[in-house]
Structure 1
Amino acid sequence: MALIVLAAPFVVLMGGPLLGYAVAGGVWIVSRFVAAAIERSARKSRSPKAQVGISFGVLMGRAWVMGIAILVVGLAGEREDGLMAALLALVAFSVYLATTLIIRPTERNKPSS
């Protein structure tokens, strides 16, 4: 999320497609907050299968929502807007995946109090 906010001035100064950036950034941030809330409630479940299923469902749902947003922006705006939305989604997801892979194993190894 910080990456999206910090990159916004550069997109504006470089004259990038603002519609694609705004829509993809907004959808990414909103879906991240919704996913965090759903995952937080999923961790309360005692069943590991339910936790994995909910986490997978959230991930797939976010991918579908982002894909639909990219498609809508590409069709409603210019072609460059769709490309900007797709690139922003790719970069944001890559950073999210990398940080998740780094942070999650350390969360599992914490002793519970």
Structure 2
Amino acid sequence: MNAPQRAGGFGLPHGGTAVLEVIPLPGRPGIRARGEISSVTRSPWEEALAGLARRHADVSYVELSEVGFVDVAGVAALAVTALGLPGGRVVVEHPPPQVSRVLSLFWPGLRRIEVSPR
């Protein structure tokens, strides 16, 4: 996963097409996403999370400060990825507010994910 992964087209506000870019974080284990995580972008999101899990050591980072929206299934994919790790945790940095709400609603005791709010 050296190149950004994209789904949909450009022009989210004008064309109504969802876009997601996912790139490796420089200098630490993890990924940075930009755009929207929804049914349209689910495949590249899940591929990026699978890659994150393959490279996971003790702590992996998921930076979401440039993500405007994550649907419930996108949060579920993140939770399932964290639950499948052999150990350690995933630190989710600066996610949209719905990420914390969905995690607390469906996975209230999940200690494998640490959320660092916006």
**TM-score when normalising by structure 1:** 0.31
Task: Give the number of the structure with larger relative contact order, counting CA–CA contacts within 8 Å between residues 6 or more apart.
Answer: 1
TM-score of the two chains, using structure 2 as the length reference? 0.30
Q: Which has the larger radius of gyration?
A: 1
Task: Report which of the two has the higher share of helix.
Answer: 1
Higher strand share: 2
